[in-house]
Amino acid sequence: MKHSEIVGKMSLEQKATFVSGYDYWHLEEAPELGLPKICITDGPHGLRKAKGKDYVPEEGEAKSSGGIGLGNSVPTTCFPPAATSSCSWDDDLLFEEGAAMGEECLKEKVSVILGPGTNIKRAPTCGRNFEYFSEDPLLAGKCSAAIINGVQSKGVGTSLKHFACNSQEAFRMVLNEVIDERTMREIYFPAFEIAVKEAQPWTVMNSYNRINGVYASQNEWMQQQVLRKEWGFKGLIVTDWGASVDRVDGVKAGTDLEMPTSGKLNAKKIVAAVNDGTLEESILDERVDAVVDLILKSKPALEKTHTYDKKAHHKIAQKIAEGSMVLLKNDDSILPLQAGQKVAVIGEMAKAPRFQGAGSSVINPTMLSNAYDELVELGVDVTYAQGYYKSAGTKKEQKTRMTEAQLTAEAVNAAKNADVAIVFAGLTEDFEGEGYDRETINMPPNHNKLISDVAAANPNTVVVLAGGSVVLMPWLSEVKGLLNSGLGGQAGGAAVANILTGKVNPSGKTSETYPVSFEANPTFGNYPGGPVTSEHKESVYIGYRYYDSANEDVVFPFGYGLSYTTFEYSDIKLSADSIKDTDTLTVSFKVKNTGSVAGAEIAQVYVADKESTIFRPAKELKGYKKVFLNAGEEKEVSVELSKRAFAFYNVKIGDWCVESGDFDIMVAASSRDVKLTATVNVEAPACEIPNYHTTAPAYYNDVKNITRDDFAAVYGELPNPQIDTSKRIDKYSCLNDARHTKWGGRLCRLISKVMSGMGSAENGDGKMLAAMATQIPVRNFVQMSMGAFSEYQAEGLLMMLNDDQSSFIGFSKIFWTLGGTLARLPKLLSAI
């Protein structure tokens, strides 16, 4: 039966129901039409499927609670999160990861895994940076496409997310991202564009935020014009969980599926809109057709029984970790460790690793390695000192614990009696997580002190750094070695041990820049935006595009990483000295392993416009290749550059445009280590090019000091960034919007206090829940509560937030709301 025939057999009421989920993780079914109930659930670096009440645990596994909480999931392979895997710069490796995740989805009867997370790392403090690939759109897009192709090669779908401009966690459900179109097109859209054009994900998930005043789930220009018409997306558009705002407008704007279910709430509104003529039924049919298509694509995989080899997938996770970890410092060739050395292993994370992020992506791993045990297994002569406690612990635990001074003394003593001291340190669960942004880029103070104390006791100190975001390293000059293990997934411990001992030669390179200070990053003072707007006044100057253009010193540049061998670049050649903008340019060069061990080098190709009318970054990544070479081996590498490698987005003509002239082609080992350079002249048709030299001069010559006036000259009239306290709080507002009211302030303080004490390994110290609780729009209390929070209660909550106590009904609603809000928040939050 054709899709149109299936849709044609549905009643209006059934169609309205079909464009919303059945529950939190399943779509509606119609067995009489051949449409089974399918499951779509979290990724993105492994499968997080809630166990459910009927789940049968394996031997030694905890019994299911039957809830939807983050920790109640089926054991699956935890692969390294995107912040780490992107440092591999290895499309083949990420394809292999995707294929393995697809196999696990098949085994668990999951039709779509929600990922990959592809948003650009605008600032180093985004709480969800561990879940995203890079500050660079080309690298992010290629990584994303590789994983999507891997998953979908198994007959399972993906959900490319979060489309778009979702670069902060604070106020993400109400925030207005104020951003000019050129910046969107050049920085925040290309990763999604690459993924769509090269991989065609089955679904795209829209983001919570507004873009220039329009919620993503209702942004017709973004979803219909850009995503579907320009990029040729063929699949289904689904809301992030709770991102549906006004559902009828969402249907008109191209959002096919609302998740999770809103029950009968929005279905009734859709039926009413069709009946009164405000929504054409043909548009609703298009949305239903997309849902039907997704279900039918899922059927073949659901009709078979699948399994996978857990040990084999663990090995794949290990291979990804080994190819992604970055050796950042190696003075005096302190690494790899030599046979017979006495090694002091210091830091609790050596035995209890931080291997993934916190929030909706938390995986319940099938097994978990740690570096200490793996080093012992490899025969290294190790002693251990805990050094610190990862978490505060319970009051009972605190009474029996060693003091910080005692822990440090023990660590220093171990270091003094060793040939090499290795300190495992970094960001714990308390420091980064979904739902809130970091306030600084500092590491835990006790970790910094421990490293310095150990380094003072033993000059041969190496740090193994864990975490999903960049950090400041005040001790860097005091240590000889630094290995960034990132978040290594469940096999990260084995990967660390293999790299430290030289069993594996490190080959990862940074996928984001490490600034010299928090204040040095281009969004400082402007990020996170909120509570109403986030102004992208830095424009295209994100990450290395900013640091290189501003000549700003950095600790580690974008694309940087060391190896246990050395590489030499030579013989750059261009396929032509002069081309038209419609031509393809081939860049070729040679890379040779000049060391004594096999290794891999990541060769990067950057392009720079030598003279331009519009402001442009000093250089931009336009291609890369990871080259594996035996000792003494040399290979020729080629990279093709199309028009887009030389173009900028011209808002005057609404298209990509090349300005005729000379362009430098730079082959580099990092954005700051250019090895070879050649020049090509590109000829393009003349067109009107925006010139901001007089209206926004800082974009050309002072990118460290871009003003709001400069931004306004590029963007246009800027919206008011402040909360309008004269307006009534409505269903689109969050609790934080009412902090200035008597009851709003009290409720925010109460919820924050309650939630901040609900920490766990899944959500850190509770900051995630506290932030989310006060930043969720009132509409979501109703839409996502599965009937547990009614519109009646929402009316009472709004009356309370507006200090409106004018009637007996109001008092009644407020009374019921006080209890209802606090009692149901944990369940509601665990689903977002």
Instruction: Give the catalytic positions in this structure.
Output: 240
| Residue among 462, 457, 455, 466 nearest 380 (CA) | 462
Give the sign of the dihedral formed by CA 412, CA 413, CA 417, CA 422: negative
For residues 73 and 50, give the distance between their C-alpha atoms in angstroms, rounded to a whole number. Answer: 4
DSSP string, 175-201: -EEE--HHHIIIIISHHHHHHHHHH--
For residues 75 and 218, give the distance between their C-alpha atoms in angstroms, rounded to a whole number. Answer: 36
Q: How many Cα neighbours within 13 Å face the side chain of 635?
A: 16
Contact 507, 135 (CB under 8 A): no
Contact 422, 383 (CB under 8 A): no
Q: How many Cα neighbours within 13 Å face the side chain of 284?
A: 29
Compute how many other C-beta atoms are within 10 angstroms of the C-beta atom of residue 315.
15
- The residues near 803 (Cβ < 8 Å, ≥ 6 apart) are 741, 742, 743, 744
Residue recorded with tokens 């009709």 = 303
Contact 49, 106 (CB under 8 A): no
| Residue among 321, 387, 368, 278 nearest 94 (CA) | 321
420-426 and 342-346 beta bridge pairing: parallel
Contact 111, 156 (CB under 8 A): yes
* 193: its two tokens: 């564009």
| Residue among 455, 463, 468, 367 nearest 416 (CA) | 455
* 526: its two tokens: 């402007």
| Residue among 283, 219, 280 nearest 246 (CA) | 219
CA quadruple 36, 40, 46, 52: dihedral, nearest 10: -80
Residue recorded with tokens 């966690």 = 169
- The residues near 376 (Cβ < 8 Å, ≥ 6 apart) are 382
| Residue among 154, 146, 193, 195 nearest 297 (CA) | 154
Compute how many other C-beta atoms are within 10 angstroms of the C-beta atom of residue 687.
12
420-426 and 461-466 beta bridge pairing: parallel
* DSSP state, residue 552: -
Compute how many other C-beta atoms are within 10 angstroms of the C-beta atom of residue 277.
8
For residues 297 and 266, give the distance between their C-alpha atoms in angstroms, rounded to a whole number. Answer: 26
Contact 258, 20 (CB under 8 A): yes
Distance linking the first and last C-alpha atoms of the chain: 36
Residue recorded with tokens 């039409």 = 33
Looking at the DSSP assignment, which residues form a beta bridge with residue 666? 606, 677
